[in-house]
Amino acid sequence: MDTKAKTLILCVDQDDDIGKKAMVPTPIVGVDANKEAAASLAIADPEEADSNAMFGAVKLHIQLAEKYPDEEFQVATIAGSQNGGIEADRKMMEELQKVLADYPATGIVLVTDGFADDVLKPILQSRVPITSVHHVVVKHSERIEETYAVLGKYLRMIFDDPYYARFALGIPGVLLLIFGFLMASNQLQNAGLAVVFVLGIALFLKGFGIYDKITTFKPKLPPPEEQVMYVARIIGTMVAIMGIFQGLSSAINYIPSPVSLSDLSWWAGMLPMFLSVFLQKGIDLIMLGVGVFFIGGAVSHYLQKDERLAQSIVSLNLTFWVWLIVIESAKILQDPSTQIGFWSPLIFYTLASILTTIIAVVITYKRYKRLPFT
């Protein structure tokens, strides 16, 4: 039975520079793999401290393997997320579990650049004890040189990294635009209000995580065959609304201005006329909108080879006959003396709608062994 102590020399890239800049997936396990990944990161960004930490982990692996030949050592690099916070911590834990599944270490030697020890230790120790922490800090000949280098690095990060530039440059840019507009319009006295408003919105979005949700939101469009249906429904609804508006506008023109709302007898006598005008003026657009609504569904169901195509066809049939029946009904409301015989248009359209609907339902049942609308 193998009783050798297994130590994992772990390098942690908390903001995933190795993935973002060098395009190397993590976790990275093994001396050779870490050498190649560190070299790729150093080439992509020679000033990146994480590449030095990875080389330091490889060097430490060589030193410990020579000093303690009776123990096993493995080197690995895991990464978090450029978004930081909980997302970065969860990603690091997932990658650490993958590494430990292949290499069940009894202890961890944590290799860092010295900036995130307090954050990383509790997270890692929840899985494996940390036996040592090794800092890899880039040396400088003069302290002032180090200060300028660090400041230059973070200034470049503000300008070049979109994640930081959005707030470091974006908000001041918006404020300058507002100041320019206020100066041009002689409203500079409202500058303080504009500053408070812009900063308030920015802090609100960032503080409640709304900004991160917006930037990471990836809308999922429905399949093309369903897009046809949704577009047709939107267009059909708009056309029907225009028909309702047209009908109401025409009916309102029949209301005399000096009329009392409490005169119920007058309103009851004029209701058939209002309804007739509304239907005659608006029914064409209303039924066109309904027809477009159902045509979109029929096309979508046809493309998907969906059995609901029969339902859409029956609906279109009913829409056509209802349109004709409503027109004839409006004429009768306008002129109640109209004679209605067996061969009058209203009776003919009603019987035709019933007959064609029955035929469509029977055909649907024979083909799909089920009735439409079920």
pLDDT for 126 equals: 76
Is residue 320 domain-shared with residue 360, that is, in the same domain?
Answer: yes
- Any residues with CB less than 8 A from the CB of 61 and at least 6 apart, and which? 9, 31, 73, 74, 75
- Say if 103 falls within a structural domain: yes
Residues 211 and 280 in one domain: no
d(CA 146, CA 155): 14
In this structure, the answer to whether residues 200 and 251 fall within a common structural domain is no
Do 165 and 197 belong together in one domain? Answer: yes
What is the pLDDT, as a whole number, of residue 258?
62
Say yes or no: 98 and 17 in one domain: yes
In a domain, 1, yes or no: no
Tens of pLDDT, residue by residue, the chain (374 residues): 456 788 888 888 877 888 888 888 888 888 888 888 888 888 888 877 778 888 888 888 888 888 888 888 889 888 888 777 778 888 888 888 888 888 888 888 888 765 555 566 777 777 788 888 777 665 544 454 456 556 766 777 767 777 677 677 777 777 777 777 777 777 777 777 777 777 788 778 777 777 777 767 666 666 777 777 888 888 888 988 998 888 888 888 776 666 656 666 766 767 778 888 888 888 888 888 888 888 888 888 778 877 777 788 888 888 888 888 888 888 888 777 777 777 788 888 888 888 988 887 787 777 766 555 55
Question: Do residues 85 and 131 share a domain?
Answer: yes
- Listed residue (83, 37, 41) closest to 58, CA to CA: 37
**Pairing mode, if any, of strands 72-79 and 28-29?**
antiparallel
Q: Is residue 311 part of a domain?
A: yes
Instruction: Check: CB of residue 111 under 8 Å from CB of residue 53.
Output: yes
Same domain, 149 and 81: no
Which amino acid type is present at position 251? A
Closest to 48 (Cα-Cα) out of 18, 75, 4, 81: 18
Tally of structural domains, the chain: 3
Q: What is the reported pLDDT for 60?
A: 87
Out of 119, 135, 151, pick the residue that ends a domain: 135
Predicted pLDDT at 147: 65
Residues 240 and 286 sit within 8 Å (Cβ to Cβ) = yes
Give the model's pLDDT for residue 55: 87
- Residue 298 phi, psi dihedral angles, 5° rounding: -65, -45
Question: Which domain covers residue 183, as residue numbers?
Answer: 143-216
Neighbours of 59 (CB within 10 A): 15
Name the residue with tokens 């393997």: 65
Residue 333 and residue 119: Cα distance in Å, rounded?
79
**Domain final residue pick, 198, 216, 234:** 216
Six token digits for residue 209: 């995580």
Domain-embedded: residue 257:
yes
Same domain, yes or no: 281 and 149: no
Where is the domain boundary, 103, 135, 167?
A: 135
- Shared domain for 278 and 209, answered yes or no, is no
Q: Residue 353 domain-assigned?
A: yes
Is 373 within the bounds of a domain?
no
Task: Give the tokens for residue 305.
Answer: 């080879």
Is residue 168 domain-resident? yes
Residue 261 and residue 128 in one domain: no
| Site of tokens 């320019």 | 180
Looking at the fold, whether 263 and 286 belong to one and the same domain comes out as yes
Same-domain status, 109 and 239: no
Phi, psi for 112 (deg, rounded to 5):
-135, 170
- What is the structure's pLDDT at 140? 47
Helix axes 170-184, 191-207, angle to 10 degrees: 160
Give buried/exposed letters for 195-224 (b at 16+ CB in 10 A, else e). eeebeeebeeeeeeeebbeeeeeeeeeeee
- The answer as to whether 199 is a domain residue is yes
Q: Which of 308, 286, 280 is nearest to 296 (CA)?
A: 308
The per-residue pLDDT for 62 is 87
Q: Are 24 and 18 in contact (CB under 8 A)?
A: yes
Q: pTM surpassing 0.75?
A: no
